[in-house]
Structure 1
């Protein structure tokens, strides 16, 4: 009486066993590649760079190299990026370093400041986000290597591409710069009463909003502030229509657009439109740096993994995790996509904490060990640091688009088609947190 049921179970088991290798075929293919082609990076000591030759070969003729980070509290990643930047600058001719930080303050401010150690130290602390400017692990790059480069024939130029403008140089100089820019272009709006009573004063109101909490910004909905934001956006749109196209390639015009879109972000606080506006704006700012400000230079980008990834809207197994990113918007330009190498970072376990939180003695964030079948455990566990080139794998297997788990969006293992998201991965076995820079370096 039980035989039909037993036969049915055998049939089901046969089908499952038959299709399982097919369903899992792609992952072993990548796993085997990782186990065979992972390149060991023995140390993060900057004086020894011979171990970075595989990264040089992977980057090739790219004009833009994007360096990510899982979070802004990853001290070991900052040390790795310092080594990479030194190598890219000295050995591969990358002379511009663009940060995920204030576009106007870093891009324009750097042009108007001297580059001795003391001035550079003050500039970074006043204009670069404190997660980096007050990090002990960033200090060698920011306060030694960069000012020292100005004693050479190829200094490392600093720029920014974030539309969330927070720097001291922006606070002190943006309004004056815009006023001079609009006055020389004889804008009709420049002569209006609204310009002096609404537009200029509102810039001073808008800039501090970058530091406000989400709860505070949510409280502004349906208030006069939101109405002022909308008026400000309308004013900027009117100015943009008046200006000749020849002036729309200037930095003050970009700053004007940044202000408008920052206002849009605040109006859409808590919605995906706010996030998407910022990501698209950062991509436009970076594209301007690449094509207009520094068309003959190679550029290094310093940002979070979340911002540099491409295909983020379609690559996550959980569709609710799909998200637009600066890297996606930037790489929709096929020419820029061909010229760019996006290097994501991951780690197996450890701790993380931003420098500002460290200064307040807040608890460390514990990074749990990756599970047995996660990407981080495909790598030889004797390696402290390593590099895996996804581009080379994709050339060998162009149709590969399988999901696998990787910690590259924060410190959680997420299932995605990661070979579609990054061109390569820098692996760190044990992450150490960022530490607060207590002493001001000259």
Structure 2
């Protein structure tokens, strides 16, 4: 069965609708569409994706959107495109809208035994992808590439540190790191309370909003005392906790649409900032593809350069 993919249709429509008539928009889209003939992940004939490759050129970043987080056919298409980007265009990193800590932490650096990559992915990537049958061939492919000279790396940029991995490892790993930094805050009684309240944030346990305010205040103090290490990995983890607490505070403090939007904006800005950090630090020399929603492109473009 033939399916048609239209490059950046949503963005084009949003932009052109204020300038051209409906017929003009339709004409523009149909004249710029390219037919993809097969979404079978195991199909190694990528000729139908050549036009996509030409459009990408030598770009370092590619955004892969999806109509929703529950559309299996979108996942199938994206999985094959990821394989194409890896094999034909030199992309070696895929960033999921999933737990930043879980998908970027290196536990052996802090004394923990190394955890197999597939286990980390199962514990850190959100269920709509890691447990989806349509994504299974992709994750099997990623695992097969782990032991090669050219692995396909998986990372995450979501500031919602609520995965099973974070619930299991973040609290004790973060404490181990902060204890090693000899910051003044770690010598106060509030430090133990902060570490304890991390469970409230990570496990999405709704408590009095004063708990979220404490986490915001305590994490701000920690960032101030890290002596320029706020841009380090664990400094960024503390900032994620800070923004996650702010996000939940916005959700629970005022229950209306305007403030729900405000909570989502807090998260979107932090995800954009996390992506920027990954590009500048962890994967500075690599090509990266990411997703998973079309709105993330807009957030990245508008907010990634803003210091949050």
Which residue is equivalent to 1:357? none
Q: Which has the higher helix share?
A: 2
**Higher relative contact order (Cα pairs below 8 Å, separated by 6+ residues):** 1
Shift of 1:327: 5.0
Which residue is equivalent to 1:229? 212
Distance 1:126 1:40, change over 3 A: same
Shift of 1:75: 0.6
> Separation in 1 of the partners of 2:300 and 2:107?
23
Candidates 252, 258, 264, aligned match of 2:240: 258
Match status 1:305 vs 2:294: yes
CA contact 2:226–2:235 (8 Å) conserved in 1: no
> Separation in 2 of the partners of 1:190 and 1:151?
40
Large movers: runs of 4+ above 6 Å: none
Match status 1:164 vs 2:166: no
> Separation in 1 of the partners of 2:292 and 2:278?
15
Residue deviations 1:306-348 (CA, integer Å, cap 9, x gap): 3x231xxxxxxxxxxxxxx355323x57xxxxxxxxxxxxxxx
TM-score norm. by structure 1 comes to 0.59
Which residue is equivalent to 2:115? 113
Shift of 1:299: 0.7
Whose Rg is larger?
1
Shift of 1:45: 2.3
Shift of 1:125: 2.8
Distance 1:57 1:157, change over 3 A: same
Candidates 64, 70, 84, aligned match of 1:73: 70
Which residue is equivalent to 2:29? 34
TM-score norm. by structure 2 comes to 0.83
Distance 1:187 1:292, change over 3 A: same
Instruction: Note the residue ranges of structure 2 that are not aligned, 5 or more in a row.
Output: 1-17, 109-113
Match status 1:150 vs 2:152: no
CA contact 1:177–1:252 (8 Å) conserved in 2: no
**Mapping of 1:73-152 within 5 angstroms?**
73-108=70-105, 112-115=114-117, 120=118, 122-142=119-139, 144-152=140-148
Instruction: Note the residue ranges of structure 1 that are not aligned, 5 or more in a row.
Output: 1-22, 311-324, 334-442
> Separation in 1 of the partners of 2:211 and 2:197?
8
Shift of 1:126: 2.1
Distance 1:181 1:110, change over 3 A: closer
Q: Which has the higher strand share?
A: 1
Candidates 266, 269, 282, aligned match of 2:271: 282
Which residue is equivalent to 1:9? none
What secondary structure, in the 3-state scheme, does the structure 1 residue paired with 2:203 have? Answer: helix
Match status 1:173 vs 2:147: no
Distance 1:302 1:24, change over 3 A: closer
What secondary structure, in the 3-state scheme, does the structure 2 residue paired with 1:206 have? Answer: helix
Shift of 1:39: 1.3
CA contact 1:45–1:83 (8 Å) conserved in 2: yes
What secondary structure, in the 3-state scheme, does the structure 2 residue paired with 1:275 have? Answer: helix
How many residues are paired up?
Answer: 275
CA contact 1:249–1:292 (8 Å) conserved in 2: no
